[in-house]
Amino acid sequence: MVRIGARILSSGLDFLDWLGGDRTGKPAVQGGEPLGIGIVGCGFVADFYAASLANHPELAIKSAFDLDRSRAERVIAQTGGTVSDDLEQLLRDPAVSIVVNLTNPASHAHITRAALQAGKHVYSEKPLALDMGEASELVDLAKARGVMLGCAPCTALGDTAQAIHKAVKRGDIGTPRLVYAELDDGPIHKMQPWEWASPQGTPWPWQDELATGCTLEHAGYHLSWMVMMFGPIETVSGFARLVAPDKGLPEGSGLSPGNDFSVGCLTFSNGVTARLTCSTVAPHDHRFRVIGDEGEIFTDACWNMDAPVWVRRFSALGLRAETYPVVQRIGLLRWIFRLDGRLSDLRPRPPWRRRLRRHHIDYALGIADLARAIQTGRQPALSGENALHVTAAMLAIDRAGSGTSVIPSPAAQGKAS
């Protein structure tokens, strides 16, 4: 009975996603031929990229390839274009200017390398590569071939991240000093992820996600925001481990999970210090807070390009009030002491349907930025160099291991004395 009730509630949440979706047709192209795209890897996330292309008539899918041909056929049925028989056929297609690499993380470097060697511009899903040497080689190869390389995530270009950036630059919280960023995605293994699917029915790649680990899958979201706002990262220290090795996964999965918890501490060239936490064990928390001399600016949903942005100005009374648990628990008291701040005038103002959604990401936004860079000769905002910098930080955190020192217990010390 409980399981039936849970199914009903789950269906209700799916209905909210449907109700909040963008159910608009693709607008007509206004002047000029759209730039041709070739998609490699037509799994779960490809469905979201294809849907987002409705926002960008300057882009058009010309070809798609997947080892499972039926998946490529499904994408092409939505967008038009042709199905390639193999990777080489797609890379030879003169109509394809940008190869969009949506394969699993372990294949990113190989596919991107092949596309760059074929003289194609590339936009890759994150991470750029799982090895720093390979990531660096890809950036060098793009330069040598005279083509452009871009990399997800694109949320740094979204309205929420841009609003925070502008508010910080405007001085809304004084000089920024500290960033607290969380990307805890909940205990995914307890949510039956093997049952998840895109609106088109494509299964979520839960095995790849859990094997790659939370840091390499997710830290790039917040790190790309920070680099955009505060400049290059100067130092990184990290801690990462697998805290829940027994995840009760389906029999026969043969999965060796990657790290499901990490914390990184970073310093930036402008003096800002940041703490970034990722996990797929702790309850859902996607907050991003910038703390300055005079207040803080924050959002609670970094995966939502339309998420509200709040500004709180510090006051002696408010800072004292928040130390009382009763004030923290009671909403009216929080409002009286302005502990939750006010909505920023720079915040996104999405239509009502999108406000119902868990998150809204225009996945094609990064491809559109790369296309404009190709046409104008400027560097893309999500350049290969930027991705290399973010990848270096992610790998430093993920590969840090436990980094622990064994400290004698009080009992042991007592015996020694």
Pair of tokens at residue 377: 């000769």
Amino acid 85: pLDDT: 96
Nearest to 176 by CA among 298, 308, 278: 298
Side chain identity, residue 128: L
Q: Does pLDDT of 251 surpass 90?
A: no
pLDDT given for residue 33 in this prediction: 84
Does the structure show a pLDDT above 90 at 89? yes
Burial of residue 224 (CB within 10 Å: 0-12, 13-18, 19+) is buried
Provide the pLDDT for residue 49: 95
Least confident of 15-19, 45-49, 328-332: 15-19
- The SS3 of residue 141 is helix
Q: How confident is the model at residue 355 (pLDDT cuts 50, 70, 90)?
A: low
**Residue 267 above 70 pLDDT?**
yes
Give me the pLDDT at residue 249, please.
Answer: 79
Asked if 401 contacts 241 with a C-beta cutoff of 8 angstroms, the reply is yes
| Residue 96 CA: distances (Å) to CA of 102, 126, 147 | 15, 21, 13
Cβ neighbourhood burial of 82 (10 Å; 0-12, 13-18, 19+): middle
Does pLDDT of 366 surpass 80? Answer: yes
- Cβ of 273: how many Cβ atoms within 10 Å? 15
Distance CA 289, CA 276 (A): 11
Which of 132, 149, 164 lies closest to 391 in space, CA to CA?
132
Whether 228 shows a pLDDT value over 80: the answer reads: yes
Residues 313/371, Cβ–Cβ less than 8 Å: no
Q: Model pTM?
A: 0.88
Q: What is the pLDDT, as a whole number, of residue 9?
A: 46
Q: 100-146 pLDDT, tens per residue?
A: 999 999 999 999 999 999 999 999 999 999 999 999 999 999 999 99
Report the C-alpha gap between 222 and 278 in whole angstroms. 10
The pLDDT value given to residue 412: 52
Cα 297 to chain centroid, rounded: 20
d(CA 118, CA 111): 11
CA angle at residue 282 from 128 to 215, to 5 degrees? 15
Q: If you average pLDDT over every residue of the chain, what do you get?
A: 89
| In the predicted structure, residue 359 carries a pLDDT above the cut 80 | no
- Position 25 scores a pLDDT of 36
List, in order of start, the domains of the chain with CATH numbers.
33-154+365-382 (3.40.50.720), 156-309+344-360 (3.30.360.10)
Rounded to whole angstroms, what are the CA distances from 223 to 232, 277, 312? 10, 11, 23
Q: What region does 80 belong to: left with phi over 0, alpha with psi -120 to 50, or beta?
A: left
Rounded CA-CA distance 204/226 in Å is 28
The pLDDT, as a whole number, for residue 117 is 98
Asked if residue 390 has pLDDT above 90, the reply is: yes
Look at 142-151, 185-194, 345-354 and tell me which has the smallest mean pLDDT.
345-354
Confidence of residue 407 (pLDDT cuts 50, 70, 90): low
- Supply the Cα-derived Rg of the chain in whole angstroms: 23
pLDDT exceeds 90 at position 170: yes
Mean pLDDT of 344-368: 84
Q: How far, CA to CA in Å, does 18 sit from each of 155, 192, 198?
A: 22, 20, 11
Amino acid at 77: A
Structure confidence by residue, pLDDT tens digits, 174-219: 999 999 999 999 999 899 999 999 988 899 999 999 999 999 999 9
Q: What is the mean pLDDT of the segment spanning 281-289? A: 96
Cβ contact 284:300 at 8 Å: no
Give me the pLDDT at residue 19, please. Answer: 44
